[in-house]
Structure 1
Amino acid sequence: MSVVEYTSKFNSLGTYAPAIMADDILKMHRFKRGLNSRIQSALAVYQPTGFDDLVGATIRAETDIKRREDENKNKRPLTGQSFQECRRNTGACFNCGKMGHRIANCPEPLKKMTWSNTNATPNKPKENKTNACMFAITQEEADDANDVVAGTVIINKISAYVLFDCGTTHSFISKRFTKKLGLLPEILVEPFRIATPTSKTIETHKIHRNCIIYINEHTFNAELIQVNMVEFDVIL
């Protein structure tokens, strides 16, 4: 199970444990406990600022682990050329590997040698796997879902039409609304690839950190990924 799939399931099951989901520290603790041991080790010294920050760090850790695994898989055995160079350096016979004679004078029957060609099979292109997903992006999709609610809240002291979606793995902000807030995005080296309800993948390099959300006299910091959407200002 990928981190994105695990996060989706965690948020879905979290609706049955509202006390845990309401406590950010307890929520992050329970989330960490469900991760595999390698990702837990990678996050051992990381101090997240919030749940969204923890999810982002977890996805980055998973990506890094997979990258190292792929690098190890791509390490090839000794090629024919390297094998020849090794025996040439030692003076051993190319046929039997023994010292004192060359392949032309080898007393043993010539062996059929096969050499691996490092250029024969090109590396496969990296798959553009999604590392985030949203389960509703339009008003119609929100109306069809039973685990979302829409309403107006204050973000950075400006009124915003917000969709609260407990199945979404990250929080998002529309490009149009960022201009209204006067925000400048942080440009990411690795993009977010977001799976949408229509199976379309949205890719973005832009994120807005430390956006302040005001709800019932409480304030929350949020990291909002910038996407092109029309019907909502923000999805949380």
Structure 2
Amino acid sequence: MTEHQAHGVVHQQGGPIDSEDRALERFLKFGPPKFYGGPEPEVAEGWWERISDIFAALNYTEERQVTFAAFQFEGVVRSWWNLIRVNWDRNHTPRTWANFTREFNAKFLPPLIQEKREDDFIKCRQGAMSVAEYEVQFTKLSRYAPELVATEQRRVRRFVQGLNVEIQEGLAAVRIDTFADAVEGAQRVEVAKAQVKSFQAKKRFASSSSREPTYGNTPPAKIGRGTSGMNSPGVPRGTLAGGAGARNAGGPNGRGQPRNGSQGSRVITFLGTCGYCKKPGHTEAGCWKKEGKCLKCGSSEHQIAGCPKIQEDDTLNAGPTNSRGNRPKVPARVYAIDDQPVPYSSELVEGTLPISHQLARVLIDPGATHSFVNPTFTSEINVKPVRLPLTLKLKHQWVIRI
């Protein structure tokens, strides 16, 4: 017997001898490892994977793959293969790579290892892997469950079922005939999905960059806790402030925030100046004067002259008149501010706000009943003072000289 015959090397039907020899030489140029057997399943798995990679590059027929793979057996493994080859010839078993893999696994991989690898193949899913990485893992584990991928159709179906849902949706309307078509189609869908995500991310970034800046993440400094600083520039609509002291109003009706609202950080957003009335604190799109609404409460059913809010406030603030007809005295709560230290308070906030294009140093007290403005500051913002129909009685909890 020649050396080729001893190793089970056969020639293709009708092909010349030198063609088989050249095919073997090409195979040997890849440096295929010899296999001597042994109890370690990792050695057998490593050898089979290396041989499979070589055949993937050579594109040989399955019969030639089986013949050349067996050519690398040595020692007791060669003796074992000679028995298998004789048995195949007797039973007319086709020399396919699947049959070779089944015989190899049964001999050199313990049943426990085979069962574990088969379970790994059944549970194989793409997950965080790319399509290319998933295809490699799928092909590697498929040899442990050849009956599940016995046909091309079953192999394709098993591969597609393991892909992520969004990629399966992209392949739903695509005709897939071969495993190569399934891999290529999945990779195309993967690239398209990545491009869509990249476009959406750029669109969100461009949209957020075009918005006006806000300063809601920086809480204002609080007086009385040993901190000092400036509030973020800007003031929401409805907030009253002045040069000497101010209160924080919760909205257009001028009513203050509840006391417990001061425990969290206040958010101050810069809205710019209205292009219609030239007043700060709102934009032209929400300008009450442009829309002909009441400048007190924002209602479109009346003007400020007939606003029931003004009448209600006058009734609440007026109180009973005395017998002499003098204006009633109404108690008020007020604080003043200068450069001296301010006593401890958990509700007072000091800062600087733009009022009518002028920076005003303010002291905001959510519990204050009125807003007090320095007369010097009012002259700078061109505001005409109006005499109140009542007299305020100031009850000083503490007053700092100014």
TM-score (norm 2): 0.23
Which structure has the highest strand share of the two? 1
Greater CA radius of gyration, 1 or 2?
2
Q: Which has the higher helix share?
A: 2
